Amino acid sequence: MGRMGRMRERRVEVIPIPIAKDVRISKGCDLASLILDAIRDNGTDLVDSDVVVVTQKIVSKAENRMVHLADVTPSEHAIRIAMEQGKDPRVVELILREAKRIVAVSGGVIITQTRHGLVCANSGVDGSNIEDESLTMLPIDPDASARRIRDGLMRATGRRVAVIISDTFGRPFREGQVNVAVGVAGIKPMMDYRGMRDMYGKELRVTSIAVADEIASAAELVMGKSKGIPVAIVRGLEYAQDEQASARDLIREESRDIFLRLALERCGEAG
């Protein structure tokens, strides 16, 4: 619990890392060294315990998780949903290919569960901040993507850092989207408070905090959608290191998720 009062607690800094427009992120590029160059161009360097948050978009570009719409032939299923929802059938085709199953289709939005288990709009397929009629898909294994970037950063700097791959998701009950963690490396994504006591010795109501999601959200505050800043460092944070970390821990199991079950009962499995 620690002493409080006059003791000063540690501040956390969120440092935006823009990447110069002339730096091309393309298939097979060394994302770790590209990110490190950008960090140094911005007048800083990595220190131990930094959490480097990287938007899915540049990871997908570097991993060639991109498709030109012209290369996509929609299935009949995709064409039917596209007509009902007023969407491009080729986009719908991609969304279906990325989906393990459809969770809900409503108001032009197709909510799916991706092969990773993530429940989100359009299977994470996204056409913003890339050129031409192309779309990005989420990395195939975002934890592995995070680990690769982390390994590269640690090799180059000798610093023990963590990496989070973020994406922007909507959520039920609340308006607006927030950044969440879709891949993690080196940081336990959940802070477990089970069995812990509060200041008065009572068991805590909060059982676990999704710190990786909160870090992704904090990073979004300096990234800004239209500024296109794809990386941020969260510095000064105390967190649990974990070499086996996985963002799968952030995905609620269907058996524990009444809202997912209700949606699947209604239209999901029929999709």
User: Interface residues for its own copies in 40-79 (CB under 8 A)?
Assistant: 41-43
- Contact stretch for its own copies (CB under 8 A) within 65-73, 94-102, 145-153, 201-209: 201-209
Query: Contacts with its own copies: how many residues (CB under 8 A)?
Result: 94
Q: Which is nearer to its own copies, 32 or 215 (CB)?
A: 215
Cα–Cα distance measured from residue 122 to residue 111, given in angstroms and rounded to the nearest whole number: 6
Q: Which is nearer to its own copies, 96 or 148 (CB)?
A: 96
Q: Which is nearer to its own copies, 30 or 37 (CB)?
A: 37
Least Å distance, CB 79 to its own copies, is 22
227-266 residues in contact with its own copies (CB under 8 A) are 227-229, 234, 237, 249-252, 256-260, 262-263, 266
**Per-residue b/e over 32-45, b at no fewer than 16 CB within 10 Å?**
bebbbbbbeeeeee
Q: Is 162 in the site for its own copies (CB under 8 A)?
A: no
Judging by DSSP bridges, how do beta strands 208-209 and 191-192 pair with one another? antiparallel
Tokens representing residue 129 in the block: 């901040």
Cα–Cα distance measured from residue 219 to residue 217, given in angstroms and rounded to the nearest whole number: 5
Tokens representing residue 57 in the block: 């978009």
C-alpha R_g of the chain: 20
Tokens representing residue 12 in the block: 């956390």
Q: Which is nearer to its own copies, 136 or 148 (CB)?
A: 136
Q: Out of 24, 26, 194, 205, point to the residue binding its own copies (CB under 8 A).
A: 205
